[in-house]
Amino acid sequence: MKYFSGHGIDVNEDSSYERIKRLALALQDKAGVDYRWKGVYDPSTHKIELPEHETLFCLYAWYWSVPEARPSFHEIFVKTLGKRDGSEAEKLRELEATLPSDKGKLLYMNKDVAEDIFKFYEKYMRTPLRRDLGKGAKGRTVSRYLTSDELDLVLKVGRYDDEGQEKRAQEIASKLLKWLDQITTGRVLNDIEKVFAEHEESSEHMKNPEELEGGRRDLCMHASEYVELVV
């Protein structure tokens, strides 16, 4: 909204669904088209070319399909930053400085990402697993912490050997907890820096789209103990 208002469109964070739609329809009339929110919004059909900020505003309004849910699309946000000439980070930093402290962040340093990953492991894996094992949890309660490969190891004990399967699951879960106990923000940060260094070392490992097989969309992948980087 700040981007649009900064370019002269009279809107703000409190602008209603009806007002956004009304302003967008006026801009579409200006461009010589009449979509009325049917079909697909296509700026190339404009009889009169609109400035980029007005085209983006129409696209924003087009994506806003129900009053209760404002659109938040990456492709629109990125375009509001202007040309990708290396100045995006500074623009994001300026925008972030205007946000209330409780509205999150736009820029993340490696250490911020490492902290979030550590908190994820702590909140969703280590703490609940320790609690469940401490209560003597068995069966599905323990199995939900295991990967598909680990579950295969449990099943290989024997299809009808329930006691053996439970013993194997408990062993794997105990090892998992020990592994989780070793995770620190510093270790995750080292992993992040490692995969970035591997990726930036050489561009020769990047695959061309025509070389991809099996419907893969990633051009390269770098994995470490705690993180994966897919580009």
Specify the DSSP class assigned to residue 230: E
List the domain boundaries for the chain. 2-103, 110-181, 185-230
Instruction: Say which residue, 161 or 213, is predicted with more confidence.
Output: 161
Contact 129, 145 (CB under 8 A): yes
Q: Encoding tokens for residue 78?
A: 């990125």
Q: What is the mean pLDDT of residues 180-189?
A: 96
Which are the contacts of 65, defined by CB distance < 8 A and separation ≥ 6? 71
pLDDT value for 105: 65
Biggest alpha carbon distance in the chain? 74
Q: What is the mean pLDDT of residues 156-176?
A: 92
pLDDT value for 40: 58
Q: What is the mean pLDDT of residues 189-194?
A: 94
Single out the residue of 33, 69, 38 nearest to residue 50, CA to CA: 33
For residues 67 and 65, give the distance between their C-alpha atoms in angstroms, rounded to a whole number. Answer: 7
Q: What is the pLDDT of residues 71-128, one digit of tens each?
A: 665 555 655 555 555 555 666 666 667 666 666 666 578 898 899 999 999 999 999 9
Is residue 14 over pLDDT 60? yes
Instruction: Say which residue, 98 or 198, is predicted with more confidence.
Output: 198
pLDDT value for 7: 82
pLDDT confidence band for 186 (50 / 70 / 90): very high
Is residue 137 over pLDDT 80? yes
Q: What is the pLDDT of residues 26-77, one digit of tens each?
A: 888 888 876 665 555 677 777 888 888 888 888 788 777 767 666 665 555 6
Q: What one-character-per-residue DSSP string does 40-74 give? A: ---GGG-SSPPPHHHHHHHHHHHH--BTTB----H
Q: How many residues does the chain have?
A: 231
For residues 216 and 112, give the distance between their C-alpha atoms in angstroms, rounded to a whole number. Answer: 29
Mean pLDDT of the chain: 80
Percent of all residues in the chain with a pLDDT value above 90, rounded to a whole number: 33
pLDDT value for 216: 47
